[in-house]
Amino acid sequence: MATAYDLTLEQLTERLVAWGEPAFRAKQVYAQLWRRGATYEEMSDVSGLLRERLDSELPLLVETVAERIADRGATRKALLRLGSDGHMVETVLMGYPERVTVCVSSQVGCAMGCTFCATGQMGLANNLTAGEIAAQVVWARREAERLPPSTPRRLTNVVFMGMGEPLANERHVFGALTKLADTAGLGLGARHVVVSTVGIAPGIERLAHAHPQVGLAVSLHAADDELRSDLVPPNRRWPLAELERALEGWRRLTRRRPSIEWALIDHVNDTLEQARKLSAIARRLHAHVNLIPLNPTPGYEVRGSSKARVRSFANALIGAGVNVTIRDTRGRGIEAACGQLALSADLAR
């Protein structure tokens, strides 16, 4: 069954006109669904009969199964049940003094098999539809109003860094990107959206052509093929040389710099040798590097790097002329790394 979030304005208009409603009614409903994040019950300017029919034939099907709060209310992580199939995914809302970012999932589980990732332990159960992905952003828009006053209390940024590999669900992710930018709906600027990938080279090339304003982050985690193939198995299909070519093509076409994501694992990829190799890659790509202290993951015994090793690695990159950020690790106490809440819920069944 399709949900309201799966439909474009034109499709919703066609449906409501077939029900005998005027075309402007569809615009009313559509705007309230996307801009306000309203439920049908909250649409006071729509008749009760129409609200009942919408709920019956075009249900929203977004249910918060579990929610955890950290960082004095600035981080909210939800386990959401989406769509008629009841897909369970994680969505994380993070409030900062200058922005509010939501991290959305694109798949139920993940088939990439990255050894240090909780979602990678789950395997792939299903792809999310464009509507199911976008519905997470609607949830975040509502939740942003409940954030502490130290934040803007309005959603400003979207990152595709939750459960799943976005470019392995390309059709629906690209559809979701179109929905996010739709001025009749959410109206988020594409430059406030970032898609993360483990390095599916052909998908990077297609993203550059289809959505050139959308940002790109690549989960690199190792700077030579031997180590990267162990940590990130898709590297065996698209090794670093091929990935670099795709990223350089993306950079030339979009005129933007990519970001490199690097989860620091103690005595695995936090060595000065890895820093030296990463520096060369980052300089060639004019890339910004985000260093991520690894969150503890059930079933993965290797630890994240100590603060001293994180700082040493960062200093080596900075000394080589690389732009570096050490990411603010949010929600460690609420299992905020992607896949952890869903994995713990699954294990509890």
Catalytic residues: 90, 338
Nearest residue to 197 via CA among 181, 176, 220: 220
| 187: Cβ contacts below 8 Å, ≥ 6 apart | 35, 181
CA distance 330 to 94: 8
Angle value at C-alpha 177, between 181 and 345, nearest 5 degrees:
125
| 226: Cβ contacts below 8 Å, ≥ 6 apart | none
Where is 10: in which H helix or E strand? helix 9-18
Q: Are strands 87-95 and 100-103 parallel, antiparallel or unpaired?
A: antiparallel
CA count, 13 A, side-chain hemisphere, 258: 32
Q: Please check whether residue 347 is in contact with residue 128, taking contact to mean a CB–CB distance below 8 angstroms.
A: no
Nearest residue to 331 via CA among 162, 83, 199: 162
Q: Give me the phi and psi of 78, to 5 degrees please.
A: -120, 145
CA distance 292 to 206: 27
Helices 272-285 and 240-254 sit at what angle, rounded to 10 degrees?
Answer: 40
CA distance 271 to 265: 10
CA count, 13 A, side-chain hemisphere, 251: 19
For residue 297, list its beta bridge partners: 300
Q: Please check whether residue 137 is in contact with residue 100, taking contact to mean a CB–CB distance below 8 angstroms.
A: no
Number of H helices, E strands in the chain: 11, 12
